[in-house]
Copies of this chain bind each other. A is one copy, B any other.
Amino acid sequence: MRATTIHAPGDIRFEEVADPRIEEPTDAVVRVSAGCICGSDLWPYRGFNDVTAGDTIGHECVGVVEEVGSEVTSVAPGDFVIVPFCHSDNTCVHCRAGVQSACVNGGFTASGQGELARVVQADGTLVGTGATPDPPLIPSLLALSDVMPTGWHAAISAGVRSGSTVVVVGDGAVGLCGVLAAVQLGAERVVAMSRHESRQAIARQFGATDVIAERGKEGAALVKELTGGVGADAVLECVGTDDSMRLAFSVARPGATVGFVGVPHGVELPVGRMFAKNVGLRGGVAPVRKYLPDLLERVLSGSLDPGPVFDLTLPMEQAAEGYRAMDERRAVKVLLQP
């Protein structure tokens, strides 16, 4: 099959690689209908993570089951499925507690930007959509493989509830899905911190009531002003840098929680402030599988539509251009079609 590979920072190719195949009786192979590029794929692309030349890249997709191992019972060839970015047996002690991203047999899905994807622990990982979805639904379903449940995890971790005032730090696809999650969970006021006009527009489309373009102390002062000097009930940190984390804590009201889903890079947590202000921190790698049944129902019923985070669609052979577009912030998130 053909798949997207990385050979060095900045060197993305779409080329022939070995077909994935059933290696364990619990595996499935999925023919990819749509894959996408994740913000976290940009870390190796930008040289911040190590790269093994020729490795496939990508970990989110939706598609049709092509083949299953002998022990797989919950999905069958022909089923349309969502492939979460991390796999899980969904039976271990951590999965049963709703932390499938810490499954004792877990790990990250190792494909999604190729024509086929091998999914391990298919029964505990894949969620079928029932009938094959209409093509216009594909972007929203694809968003369920990572960014939407990740934004949801930020909102749940931050304790967003009906009537909350929420600040979302980060206007990438996850931050935008965080806006959507906060709105779905009943937040009354959702402030998107965003300085890119195209992203501000998506944030507003997703229900943000306010947009603040300023960062740092200036941005924090504007949040304070907007909230009558009080600060936010819940803050979603969707970036992962020290600056964004600092901003998140500076806009949280006493007793609030920061929900964090941006992979931390160089973050030093302000433990003194957290203590003095009683501001908590919760979050981490999103347990996609936990949230999937609920989110899928919302998408299929038409009440949730995260599809607009994909503002650029390319054929998979142009994956390299997709990476460039995301790296240069010309695109929020790129959908790749095989």
Contact = CB atoms under 8 A, between A and B. Distances in A.
A77 interface: no
A287 B267 CA distance: 28
B157 A254 contact: no
Nearest to A290: B255
Range for the number of chain A residues in contact with chain B: 35 or more
A277 B282 contact: no
A285 B269 CA distance: 17
A263 B275 contact: yes
Given A93-B230, A254-B102, A278 B272 contact: no
Interface string A261-292: 00110011101101111111111110100000
A99 B275 CA distance: 12
Nearest to A103: B254
A264 B272 contact: yes
A13 interface: no
A9 interface: no
Protomer copies? 2
Where chain A touches its partner, the secondary structure class is: mixed
A257 interface: yes
A310 interface: no
Interface in A178-233: 228, 230
Nearest to A257: B282
A80 interface: no
B281 A274 contact: yes
A33 B10 CA distance: 72
A253 interface: yes
Nearest to A260: B275
Contacts of A263: 275
A97 B277 contact: no
A94 interface: yes
Contacts of A271: 264, 267-269
Contacts of A275: 260, 263-264, 283-285
Contacts of A269: 269, 271
A98 interface: yes
A102 to B, nearest CB: 3
Interface in A84-100: 93-94, 97-99
Given A264-B271, A264-B275, A97 B283 contact: no
A97 B254 contact: yes
Contacts of A93: 228, 230
Select the residue from A101, A253, A257, A278 with max chain B CB neighbours within 10 A.
A278
Given A99-B278, A269-B271, A280-B281, 17 more contacts: A94-B230, A99-B255, A101-B278, A257-B282, A260-B275, A263-B275, A267-B271, A268-B268, A269-B269, A274-B284, A278-B282, A278-B283, A278-B284, A280-B280, A280-B283, A281-B281, A282-B282
Q: Would you list the 8 A-B pairs with minimal beta carbon distance, nearest first?
A: A280-B282, A102-B254, A278-B284, A99-B255, A269-B269, A275-B284, A99-B254, A264-B271
15 contacts: A93-B228, A93-B230, A98-B255, A99-B278, A101-B254, A102-B277, A257-B280, A269-B269, A276-B285, A278-B285, A280-B280, A280-B281, A280-B283, A281-B281, A281-B282
